[in-house]
């Protein structure tokens, strides 16, 4: 319903828009967290600026609706460059002298195509990267292009573990894509080569660093890693005063509006796995670093009390964002709030972990469904149409003249299927007669190649319980190699693996030419088990 209303409003003339707005039929809302703490004048961190009025410390977190969803159902990036759990958080400090400080940070899921099955046992929640690097780079670049337009230089702060298998894989892939990003290039400005890196990254293995005796306090080690960069980014500072500028030399005194004193030059993009617990703690530290810089510049030294208020705001922020994404408050929030871990805090964390496990496995599918219904995203939902005769006329004309601005294209798709009878030796043989038969020229060079296998592993109870993906990987390589050998022989473009899936013996792999990637979106995979009955005396019937 919202989309048609917003489109309708955008077509109105200015005064019509104002009438519509004043009717208050449309209310803008944000999903996230907003909270303000009042700091009495006696406790003001800016002691040099005398005032009897209190100042306020505010936190505003806005969650992106572009890839909204619950923890296990929405992860990673989509083809438009939007990531799951993308939040912009702004720390605002307002002093009654009209001085206003603001600092922005962002967090977001690791910008790769990845998934994680919910699973009841923590170890079983396997992380899966579902797309090849070449097929991922375009979406990755889109994501950072849009961030760079909004915020300038981006500094990635990756808190993932380098030792845990799934997280290490994500980190390695993340690094690969940063290296290949156009924003990460050395820019040659008029002869002199200047490194104008607009995309940088740092790794801070949160779990490893906080494992020692210091516990979470060791997290402040991250300061050393990013201090220089943080100083370079600075912060936003403006003077909001409706003051009157003194007239010099008999000039008339003029009223001055908002004066921008300093601007924030870049942004930290922090991530862990969920971008909830570890991320929130680190973002608290970064926010503190920015405020410290601001106060340092003014030669002020705030009391411990000020930082307690700051931490409390951030802990509330973490809880709120966590409730939206994972269904419970944030882990480590006791530490964020009080600066130290206690037994009560540890027990609270354990309780939240258990609650999350329940919610993510049993309640989230319903929640995700509800989110999709409210956003009008379910496939069987019909859109709401508003009566808008002018728009209808324009649309009808557009349709009539569609040939003038739209083109149609054909894509050749090669499809093949083979039952391998559980054998793997075929992968070493020459597959070109199958994958690239000598058919007429017009059927050569397909844009999409879809290959299906049955009995890619033998259909044994062991494989049903836990399928070994090695066989599938072997066949993926063999097919890809054959396709690309043939492509090279004919000097045509090579293929990359878009996505593959497997259910015990059945496997499906889709290869595409990189040049058509920009036309492909919303790639998804799914499986469906079929239960068969065993005969009373028998073995499993084999296909």
Partner 1 sequence: MSGMAGNKGAVAIRMDYANTRICFVTAHFAAGFANYDERNRDYHTISHGLRFQRNRSIEDHDAIIWLGDFNYRIGLSDHKVRHLIKAGDLDTMYQNDQVRWLASKARTILVNDFREVEPPNGSRTYVPLLLGVANHIYADV
Binding site for partner 1 (CB under 8 A): 73, 369, 372, 377-380, 409, 411, 413, 415-419, 421, 434, 437, 448, 450, 452-455, 459, 463-464, 498-508, 510, 516, 519-534, 540-543
Q: What is each CA distance from 100 to 199, 330, 484, in whole angstroms?
A: 28, 29, 59
Q: Which CB, 96 or 416, lies closer to partner 1?
A: 416
The CB-of-372 to partner 1 minimum distance in angstroms stands at 5
Q: What are the structure tokens assigned to 65, written together?
A: 């609706």
Spatial separation of the C-alpha atoms in residues 250 and 20, rounded to whole Å: 47
The CB-of-488 to partner 1 minimum distance in angstroms stands at 24
Please report where in the chains the tokens 């206003």 appear, as a residue: 100
Strands (E), 122-235: 127-129, 153-158, 187-189, 192-194, 199-203
CA nearest neighbour of 336 among 301, 307, 293 = 307
Q: What are the structure tokens assigned to 291, written together?
A: 């405020």
Q: Which CB, 432 or 454, lies closer to partner 1?
A: 454
Q: Which CB, 5 or 516, lies closer to partner 1?
A: 516
The CB-of-385 to partner 1 minimum distance in angstroms stands at 20
The CB-of-78 to partner 1 minimum distance in angstroms stands at 10
Return the SS3 of 482.
Answer: helix
CB 144 within 8 A of CB 183: yes
The CB-of-451 to partner 1 minimum distance in angstroms stands at 9
The CB-of-83 to partner 1 minimum distance in angstroms stands at 16
Q: What is each CA distance from 196 to 182, 199, 528, in whole angstroms?
A: 11, 9, 49
The residues pairing with 255 across neighbouring beta strands, listed in sequence order, are 244
Q: Which CB, 214 or 437, lies closer to partner 1?
A: 437
Q: Which CB, 419 or 429, lies closer to partner 1?
A: 419
The CB-of-336 to partner 1 minimum distance in angstroms stands at 33
The residues pairing with 41 across neighbouring beta strands, listed in sequence order, are none
Q: Which CB, 172 or 413, lies closer to partner 1?
A: 413
The CB-of-86 to partner 1 minimum distance in angstroms stands at 18
Spatial separation of the C-alpha atoms in residues 203 and 133, rounded to whole Å: 20
Q: Which CB, 421 or 444, lies closer to partner 1?
A: 421
CA nearest neighbour of 89 among 68, 104, 111 = 104
Q: Which CB, 256 or 413, lies closer to partner 1?
A: 413
Q: What are the structure tokens assigned to 182, written together?
A: 């156009």
Pairing of strands 153-158, 266-271: parallel
Inter-axis angle of helices 277-297 and 304-326, nearest 10: 150
């Amino acid at each position: 319903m919202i989309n048609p209303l917003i489109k309708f409003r955008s077509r109105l003339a200015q005064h019509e828009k104002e009438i519509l707005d004043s009717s208050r039929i449309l209310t803008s809302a944000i999903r996230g967290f907003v909270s303000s703490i009042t700091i009495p004048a006696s406790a003001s961190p800016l002691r040099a600026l005398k005032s009897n009025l209190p100042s306020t410390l505010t936190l505003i977190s806005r969650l992106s609706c572009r890839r909204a969803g619950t923890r296990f159902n929405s992860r990673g990036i989509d083809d438009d460059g939007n990531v799951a759990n993308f939040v912009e958080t702004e720390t605002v400090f307002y002093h009654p002298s009209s001085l206003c400080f603001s600092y922005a940070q962002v967090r977001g899921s690791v910008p790769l195509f990845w998934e994680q099955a919910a699973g009841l046992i923590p170890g079983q929640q396997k992380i899966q990267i579902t797309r090849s690097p070449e097929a991922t780079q375009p979406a990755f670049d889109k994501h950072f292009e849009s961030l760079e337009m909004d915020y300038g230089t981006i500094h990635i702060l990756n808190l993932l573990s380098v030792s845990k298998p799934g997280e290490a894989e994500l980190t390695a892939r993340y690094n690969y894509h940063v290296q290949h990003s156009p924003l990460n290039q050395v820019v040659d400005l008029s002869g002199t080569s200047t490194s104008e890196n607009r995309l940088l990254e740092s790794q801070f293995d949160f779990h490893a660093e906080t494992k020692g005796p210091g516990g979470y306090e060791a997290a402040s080690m991250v300061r050393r890693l990013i201090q220089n960069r943080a100083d370079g980014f600075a912060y936003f500072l403006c003077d909001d005063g409706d003051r009157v500028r003194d007239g010099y030399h008999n000039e008339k005194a003029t009223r001055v509006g908002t004066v921008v004193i300093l601007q924030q030059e870049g942004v930290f993009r922090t991530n862990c796995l969920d971008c909830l617990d570890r991320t929130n703690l680190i973002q608290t530290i970064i926010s503190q670093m920015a405020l410290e810089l601001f106060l340092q510049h003014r030669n002020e030294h705030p009391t411990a009390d000020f930082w307690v208020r700051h931490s409390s705001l951030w802990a509330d922020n973490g809880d709120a964002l966590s409730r939206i994404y994972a269904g419970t408050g944030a882990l480590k929030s006791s530490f964020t709030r009080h600066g130290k871990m206690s037994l009560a805090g540890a027990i609270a964390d354990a309780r939240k972990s258990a609650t999350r496990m329940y919610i993510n496995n049993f309640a989230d599918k319903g929640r995700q469904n509800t989110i999709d219904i409210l956003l009008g995203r379910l496939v069987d939902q019909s859109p709401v149409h508003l009566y808008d005769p002018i728009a209808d006329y324009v649309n009808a004309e557009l349709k009539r003249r569609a040939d003038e601005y739209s083109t149609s294209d054909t894509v050749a798709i090669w499809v093949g299927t083979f039952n391998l009878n559980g054998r793997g030796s075929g992968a070493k043989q020459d597959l070109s007669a199958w994958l690239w038969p000598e058919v007429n020229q017009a059927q050569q060079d397909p844009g999409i190649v879809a290959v299906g296998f049955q009995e890619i592993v033998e259909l044994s109870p062991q494989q049903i319980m836990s399928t070994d993906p090695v066989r599938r990987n072997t066949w993926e390589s063999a097919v890809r190699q054959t396709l690309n050998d043939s492509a090279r022989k004919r000097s045509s473009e090579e293929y990359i693996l878009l996505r593959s899936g497997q259910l015990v013996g059945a496997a499906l792999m889709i290869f595409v030419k990189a040049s058509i990637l920009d036309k492909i979106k919303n790639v998804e995979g799914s499986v469906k088990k079929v239960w068969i009955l065993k005969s009373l005396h028998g073995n499993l019937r084999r296909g």
